[in-house]
Amino acid sequence: MTISRRDLLQWGAGSGLGAFATSIFARRAEAAATASPAKACILLYMAGGPSHIDTFDPKPRRPTGGEFKAIGTAVDGIQLCEHLPRLGNRMKKLALIRSLTSKEGNHDRARHLMHTGYPPQGGVDHPAFGSLVSETREHGGMPGYVAIGGPGEDSGFLSAIHSPFPVRNPTKPVRYLTPAKNVDAERFERRLALWRGVEDRFSAGRGGAFAKSQRAIGEQAVALMRSTGAAAFDLSAEPAKTSESYGPSEFGQGCLMARRLVEAGVPFVEVTLGGWDTHDDNFARVKALCQTLDQGMSALLDDLSGRGLLDSTLVLWMGDFGRTPRINEKGGRDHFPACSSVLLAGGGIRGGQVIGSTDQNGAEVRDRPITVPDLYRTVAQVLDVNADKQRVAPSGRPIKTVNGGKLIEGLT
């Protein structure tokens, strides 16, 4: 990433910037020096639950196999659905788990499990894994967790600073990162000084924790406005050729924004592709979704790799759950948490391999069942996050980063 002087000067009128810019450079140099675990994670989240059989676990010529053909990939013996040819060509970079299994077949519960590694429980508000990564990483003025095209999952019992910074639609400019039209840089500074004065007097008079938190978050917002990295939210700066390679979809452009954010020092970015809840008309809908996914994710892998970022960035693909082998009377498939597929790439993951399998109908896991905690324990290791660190939830219950689980052998 290039940082121009103009970038520095644009919001640099205020005091803290010099020190901040120095710290970002220092951190980069330091990180490069230690032979490293992955610095960042990009989660591609398939909301609604993608059919495993019609994507990464094809069952050709079986009654449950559906309409799609299977095609070969760059790795002998691994087949994918015919609508994922680009990812097939990049199979050497991808590790494919076909044996993820869970019990959560309701969207909200499954989302919670897939984002936090814990099933929903009354009394404990589990933080998203992205929030935990945000908490354990330095990210300067940038958010530690950005959620593009979907809500992500909130920071639970961690500070709100680690909740996802939402980007609803990456093809539209992110709003409010610059002052309002009638406010130039100098006026913004004057207002900020007035605001600080008022805030200080209020929090001195009433010792509310809320008042202090509010003040800290306000400063974080100002730091983001001034951060050189904030330019990463602006996709118009990207060359047309790169931008086009990701495809015009919000998901594709979200993948592009994810790459830019990782470059700018954001440690966890989630990009949502929704619409996988195909209770009816499964095949037409999954075909279209596969095309969007195939282009966006492939471009992301190429772009990260071309910039030398793939080794330090873990790319993770997953969704709510798999879908039933049985095709219902509306040509759809229903919720099926017993089997689903997960992809991992980058961050030192050994690609070109399949872990686990389902039976010939895609109806149950045949070997190497993998649980969500197994997956997160492994992801935590790749990202050098302490899986067994305990935090105490407000209810007084100790909660570990990862809910047990075993390391998935052979992935790294």
Q: Please tell me the total number of residues recorded for the chain in this structure.
A: 412
> Given the structure tokens 């950005």, which residue do they identify?
146
Q: Which stretch binds another protein (CB under 8 A): 222-230, 239-247, 286-294, 365-373?
A: 222-230
Around Cβ 25, how many Cβ atoms within 10 Å?
10
Interface pick for another protein out of 86, 215, 366, 368 (rule CB under 8 A)? 215
178 Cβ contact partners less than 8 Å away, ≥ 6 residues apart: 225
Q: Provide the token pair at 264.
A: 């700018």
Site map (CB under 8 A) of another protein, residues 339-378, x = contact? ----------------------------------------
Identify whether the C-beta of residue 308 lies closer than 8 Å to the C-beta of residue 32.
no
The helix (run of H) or strand (run of E) holding residue 255 is helix 250-263
Pairing of the two strands 340-345 and 94-100:
antiparallel
- CA nearest to 234, candidates 282, 173, 192: 173
Interface pick for another protein out of 123, 239, 308, 398 (rule CB under 8 A)? 123
Q: What residue spans of 34-164 are helical by DSSP H?
A: 85-89, 107-116, 129-136
| 114 is a contact residue toward another protein (CB under 8 A) | no
Around Cβ 221, how many Cβ atoms within 10 Å?
13
Shortest reach from residue 109's CB to another protein, in Å: 8
Site map (CB under 8 A) of another protein, residues 179-208, x = contact? xxxxx---x--xx--xx-xxx-xxx-xxxx
| 152 is a contact residue toward another protein (CB under 8 A) | no
| 159 is a contact residue toward another protein (CB under 8 A) | yes
Shortest reach from residue 180's CB to another protein, in Å: 4
Q: Provide the token pair at 270.
A: 């989630």
Of the pair 95, 161, the CB lying nearest another protein is at 161
Q: Which stretch binds another protein (CB under 8 A): 18-26, 48-56, 107-115, 372-380?
A: 107-115
Identify whether the C-beta of residue 47 lies closer than 8 Å to the C-beta of residue 147.
no
89 Cβ contact partners less than 8 Å away, ≥ 6 residues apart: 73, 74, 298
Shortest reach from residue 108's CB to another protein, in Å: 6
Interface pick for another protein out of 34, 210, 329, 409 (rule CB under 8 A)? 210
The helix (run of H) or strand (run of E) holding residue 260 is helix 250-263
Interface pick for another protein out of 102, 131, 163, 340 (rule CB under 8 A)? 163
Q: Provide the token pair at 167.
A: 């980007």
Binding-site size, another protein (CB under 8 A) = 54
Shortest reach from residue 31's CB to another protein, in Å: 24
Interface residues toward another protein, by CB under 8 A: 106-109, 122-123, 125, 143, 157, 159-161, 163, 165-166, 168, 175-183, 187, 190-191, 194-195, 197-199, 201-203, 205-211, 213-215, 217-218, 220-222, 224-225, 394
